[in-house]
Structure formats: C-alpha cells, structure tokens
Amino acid sequence: MRVQKTVVSSKALAPMSAQIKAGLMGGAVLLALAATAMGARAETTITAHGISTFGELKYPADFKHLDYVNPDAPKGGEISEWTSGGFDSMNPYSIKGRAAALSSAPYESILEGTSDEIGAAYCLLCTTLEYPEDRSWVIFNLRDDVRFSDGSPMTAEDVIFSYETFLAKGLTDFRTIFATKVEMVEALDPLRVKFTFKTGIPTRDLPQDVGGLPILSKAQYEAEGLDLEESSLTPFLGTGPYLLDSMKTGESITYRRNPDYWGNTHPLRVGTNNFDAIRIEYFGDYDAAFEGFKAGTYTFRNEASSIKWATGYDFPAVQNGSIIKAELPSGEKSNGQSFIFNLRREKFQDPRVREALGLMFNFEWSNETLFYGIYDRVTSYWGNSFLEATGVPSPEEVAILQPLVDEGLLPASILTDEVVMPPASGARQLDRGNLRKASALMEEAGWIVGDDGMRRNAKGEVFRVEYLNDSASFDRIINPYIENLRALGLDAVLTRVDDAQMQSRERPPNYDFDIITDFSRTNYFSGTELKQYYGSETADVSAFNKMGLKSPAVDRAIEVVLAADSLDSLTTATKALDRIMRAERFGVFQWFKGSHTVAYYDMYEHPETLPPYALGELSFWWYNAEKAAALKASGALK
C-alpha cells in the first residue's frame, strides 16, 4: 500500500522514505506448539529482523551498517536543492493544499527498505517481527528506545492510532484498498502490536504493507486537534532524524537534524542523515532555478534538462572546478514517464484514437534535436528491468492471458502478437508514414477530416485536445507534439497553468485535463499499490490513477500478481500485466536516463560505490567542511 508523500525527487528521498515491498524471508525459525481445547497442532512461526519477498535477506541480524554508506562520514553542514511552485501545507498525506517538499521526512515506519536490495525490509522501529508461514498475521516487537522528536516514547498505542487514522482519513484510494486487508489490530502489550489479516485474500504483501505505514504521535495529534485530511502548516510529530526548522511559505523551507534523534546508532542509520540542515528553495520556473544555482542560492542540482546539461554548464564555476558536473551510475528501472490521456472523457475511450495520438509523438527526432541524444525511450511500465514484457508471450504468460481472452476481456491477438512497443519515427519532426497510419485510425474511429482540415465526429464536434503544462521549460518539447497533432487534424492546444492550478486540475475530484505528463508508477515486486495506481475500484478517487483506467483485464491480472508465491510466478504475472497495460495504450511513453546527471558545489562527497537503486544525496552523502571553507574564501560561495 502507498500513502502520498511530497518529495523533491524520488531519487533523492529513496533512502529516507523507502517504499516497503512485500514478501517472506529466511530467518531464524522457531517451532511453536499451540494447544487448544480441540487438540494440539503445530504452527511454524518465523521470528526475524526483517522480511524479504523471495529468498534470503542480504544483511544478517547482527549487521553494523549498510554496505553502501561510509560509517565514519562526518556530520555537519547544509545541503540545499530546488523545487518548483510553492507550498501552503506541512501535511503530505492530504490532497488538500500543496505540501512542502520533504514534508514526509520527519516520519518513519516500523519497517524500512534498503537501496541495494529488491523486496527487502528491515526492522527500524522494531527489534523483530513474527509471522506464520502463510503470513496471515504479523507481530511487531517494538523497540523501547524509539522517541518522537519531543522526547516522548513511541508505543503500540501510537502504531494502532496511526493505522486507524490513515484508515479513516488517509487518501480515498488508500482507504478503499486497505480496508479490505486487515481484520484486527491489537496491542499485546505496550511494545507489541499484532495485525491479523482477513481470510481469503493474498497475504504475501501484508506484513510490509502495515509495516510501511508512517507512525504519528497520538498524544500530539489529539492535543493539538490535528486532522490528517486537512491542509495545515503545523507538522505532525514524528520519530525521524529531521525536524522542521524554518519556512518562508511558498519560498523556502529548512529541516534540521535532530541532535537527540533516537536512531543515530541503528544499523540502518549509521552513515546516513549526515547533514545538519537540508534546505529547499522554491522557484517559479526552470530557468530561474538554474540561474539561482549558478549564483549559489542552492548547492546541489539533479539536472533534468537535456539542453542545460549539454550546453548550460560552461560558466566559470564549472570551468574552475568550484562546481562538479558528474554523471553517476544508476541501476534503477525506467521511471514510466508518459503523456497520459484522461480516459474519463469520451473522446479518449476508443483505443484507436489513443493509438493515433501515440503515433504523432516523434521520440527519435526529439532525442536528436531537443535532447542531445542523452535519453532512451521508455518502453514498458517495468522498463530497464527483468520484469519487462518482451516479444511474444511465453507459454506461462499465455496461461494467464488465455482465460481473459476466453471471457472477451482481451483480443486473441495478444496471445500471439509481439508486445506493444512505442512506434518508431523518422528523422523529420512529422513522420509521414505515422501520420498516414494515425489518419486511418482516426477515420476508423469516426473522426473525419472536413474541408477546413479539422476532424469531426458524427455530431459535428471538432476533436479538441488540450495539453496541460505548468513548466515553461517543457514548452519546447510539447510544442512540436502539438504541431504534429494539428497536422493530424486535431484542434490541439498547449495550456500553461501555474503550480496551484495544475495540482487542482489533475487531482481528484476534478480530473480536469485532456493530456498531462505523469509518472506511471510501479515497483519491482508490485503489490496492492497496483490497485491504487491502475485499479478500476479507485479510478475515480485515486491521486495516482489520474488517467482513470478501468480495465477488467488489468484488474484480473493485478490479482494474479498479488497471488504470486514465487519469484518465477511473480515475474511471469508482472510481464503479463505489463503486456496488457501496454496494449491499453492509456499513455504515450516518453524518455528516461540510465544515469544520474548532477551538479553540485565541490563540498560534498559520497561513497565510492553508490547503491543501484538510489542516488541518496540527502541521506548518505556528507559535507566536507574544509572544501566549503575554501569555496567561501575564493568567493565562489557566499
């Protein structure tokens, strides 16, 4: 399950708010004999320091620190980054208001993942967890030294309160799914909490689902009359290593490291949280933010603009070495960035229309002309990973797809055809071959070109499509696509809105858009969050399923993914789901980089070998005070 968290970038926050995956681990196994009035029966209970979806955990119970951190990293200094728009709330768990960047940083969960494993989670707020082989329940044995930032102890009562609060007041899509999972939660003693799951449902993910919930302070929440559903500048009390220090609403926000943080010596925390302060500066547009970086207004930049990466870093601070420009390795899967269609609108319900619109985006020309060749095409919802569907379906995939074909939920061609791939285009912006294919599809769908060159349906309505965008730097990328759509006979327009309007129009309950850019989210070992992202039951309330996908075939395939009980079966089920989702064509894949392109003032250092699944600059990088002093002495940094 997932709750909404506002971040600067998923890469930056991965170690701080790790997404908890599902699974079963091989740990210390204790045999417990339970006697009842009906007779004695044996039940195997697993007690361990963590849990893994499949196979063994990488780190043993007595590990001292994560492999990818510097355990002797110095503490101190500040790191600062930028983000766009503004904020008016410190509540990251509500769709009301605009939550500040990193507003989820003060909160921790019972379990936490790492950046060098897939599907693993370790005890952070617990010493051990207990669960049976069928994962029908889980007990968390909580640590007795965990403290909220005000010094008050965290207990089972806070865990239960947090669960009940998120169930009652969390995001609607989260509540819809989570309510079907837990039968009962109870405090066995002040430091021992048990979740019992409902019967008849897949349980593989459930220990991690409940272990991944943020833990709030019941006492503070009730004493201050807080409300998880409402926008507020009063942050909830958390147990995390960082606290709100200061803010200028809509302009900047600073978090400071808690000197009394309970977990400084925890193996998951050794060598992390090294900065005394993390500051986020807000800018109205990308160009202004870049100029701010050059002027030293902030000190670390994860560059997302290809043109700036290729041509913008020729200023003196880079040339004299005051700023480091680096391309660092990344093993992450592609990000799923896509143009997505609002399927709630009748004009997008015909798959031929969606396919036609996809044919009009020329990635090859864009990459060569606009991106300086630094991007690869996103091709899959699990792209750049072993879970991506390729070629024709395997016999194992066919076994999943065949019943859906037999019930009329999928065309028979999906059993034999190659998986849907983004169309290739030629060297010119407007690929004439793709234009002809798209024109034929639009005509088949009933959108005919009139004497004025515009396409209309039988009612005489012009096909109008509005691309909604809140970033001026994106205009140069979107405008050629708009021009191509107009060449197809569509009344295509680009509408620029500010950050507040964008959030209001793309979120529930409004969903007031035709096309936007969004990240089609998935995890390596996906679980019940798929229902939040792509399930029919949450399509009209979800903050994640913005396209409004309601596909019975996708819903059924998600259930197969959830029921998978081995890595092989999960891989097969995920590939089948990927194949179905790509056939739906509810979006047009964009692009991704297989590396981190970063620039920063030369006062930060990082471990020689970065983990495959996170850049981690806000977590396990550190500050070099001598280098910082030299920068200031030279005038490169104020």
Tell me the C-alpha distance between 333 and 322, whole Å: 32
Res. 1: pLDDT tops 90 = no
Question: In which band, very low, low, confident or very high, does the pLDDT at 8 lie, cut at 50, 70 and 90?
Answer: very low
pLDDT at 20 over 60: no
Separation of alpha carbons 52 and 61, rounded Å? 13
Whether the pLDDT of residue 352 is over 70: the answer is yes
Residue 42: what pLDDT?
A: 52
Q: What percent of the chain has pLDDT over 90?
A: 86
Contacts of 288 (CB under 8 A, 6+ apart): none
pLDDT score recorded for residue 175: 84
Higher pLDDT, 26 or 422: 422
pLDDT at 22 over 90: no
Per residue in 171-195, pLDDT (tens digit) is 887 888 888 899 999 999 999 999 9
> What is the C-alpha separation between 607 and 605, in angstroms, rounded?
7
pLDDT reported for residue 29: 30
Q: To 10 degrees, the CA torsion angle through 423, 424, 426, 432?
A: -20
Q: Which residues are 182's β-sheet partners?
A: 197
Residues 414-456 have pLDDT tens digits of 999 999 999 999 999 999 999 999 999 999 999 999 999 999 9
Residue 324 has pLDDT above 90, yes or no: yes
Residue 26 has pLDDT above 80, yes or no: no
In this predicted structure, the answer to whether residue 318 has a pLDDT above a threshold of 70 is: yes
Give the confidence band of 369 by pLDDT, cuts at 50, 70, 90.
very high
Average pLDDT score, the chain: 91
d(CA 467, CA 391): 32
Whole-angstrom Cα Rg for the chain: 25
Domains parsed from the chain with CATH numbers: 10-223 (3.40.190.10), 337-592 (3.10.105.10)
The residue among 248, 468, 426 whose CA lies nearest residue 341 is 468
Q: For residue 42, report the phi and psi dihedrals to the nearest 5 degrees.
A: -100, 135
Q: Are 242 and 42 in contact (CB under 8 A)?
A: no
- Asked whether the predicted pLDDT for residue 532 surpasses 60, the reply is yes
